[in-house]
Amino acid sequence: MKLETTPKLTLFHCLNSFEETSSQIDGCEMKTVRMACSSMTKDIHLLKAFEAGADAVLVLVCPGKNCRHAEGGLRARKRVDYVKTILDAIGLDGRRLNIFNTTAKDKGSITEIIRNTIQDLQTMGPNPALNRLN
């Protein structure tokens, strides 16, 4: 199923894991949700992003032990893994939700993550929940 519209991404991120620049979001429509810590990423917010029209959701967290709140990235990863199982169970494909360890200074890696997500959406197609809601 080919994606024929501009892909819609929602990006949840810690203050220290992402610094938005316009060149990073070329080729997609992106909504960013900035949080003090990625541990604030909640299951319901991830699911609501898909309900609101996101074709894919990304969660950017601080690398390993660099989290200023000790285990924020670990908590976020557990929630993302749980929501991926829900997405698979309801037919939305858990591959639409991903988590990455990043730093705001590493703009090249973040841009590559976004490009790879857009490329993956070309294969997966648009958010199938939107077709069901219409």
pLDDT computed for residue 86 by the predictor: 96
pLDDT at residue number 132: 53
What pLDDT digit, counting tens, does each position of 36-60 carry? Answer: 878 888 999 999 999 999 999 999 8
Q: Residue 70 forms beta bridges with which residues?
A: none
- Note the pLDDT of residue 35: 85
Chain segment 8-43, per-residue pLDDT in tens: 999 998 876 676 655 456 678 989 888 887 888 899
Distance of alpha carbon 95 from alpha carbon 103, whole angstroms:
22
Beta strands in the chain (DSSP E): 8-14, 29-35, 56-61, 97-101
- For domain 8-133, which architecture applies? 3-Layer(aba) Sandwich (3.40)
Residues 24, 110: contact at Cβ < 8 Å? yes
> Could you state, in order of their start, the residue ranges of all structural domains in the chain?
8-133
